[in-house]
């Protein structure tokens, strides 16, 4: 057994949630960026995590709106 076998690797936190392995790039205005930064600060999240949260909420709202429109 050598030294490398006995050294345990420190736990490294994942940079993104499990299963998230695709990036999306978008352009925003200065005002939108400032709003995103403000939300991130309030939520105590990174800018990327905040953008992902808002995207997921937007998708959920879109699906709700679309389902309601198709049932009408």
pLDDT score for 39: 98
Confidence class of residue 7 from pLDDT cuts 50, 70 and 90?
low
Structure-model confidence comparison of residues 49 and 6, the more confident one: 49
Task: Give dist(CA 23, CA 11) in Å, integer.
Answer: 24
Phi/psi for 45 (5° steps) reads -125, 165
pTM to 2 decimals?
A: 0.74
Say whether pLDDT at 47 is over 80. yes
* Torsion, Cα of 62, 63, 67, 70 (10° steps): 60
Is pLDDT of 68 > 70?
yes
CB atoms within 10 A of CB 57: 10
């Amino acid at each position: 057994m050598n030294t490398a076998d006995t050294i345990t690797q420190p736990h490294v936190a994942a940079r993104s949630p499990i299963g998230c392995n695709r990036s999306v790039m978008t352009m925003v205005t200065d005002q939108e960026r400032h709003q995103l930064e403000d939300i991130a600060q309030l939520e105590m999240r990174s800018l990327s995590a905040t953008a992902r949260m808002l995207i997921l909420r937007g998708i959920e709202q879109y699906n709700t709106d679309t389902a309601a429109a198709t049932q009408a």
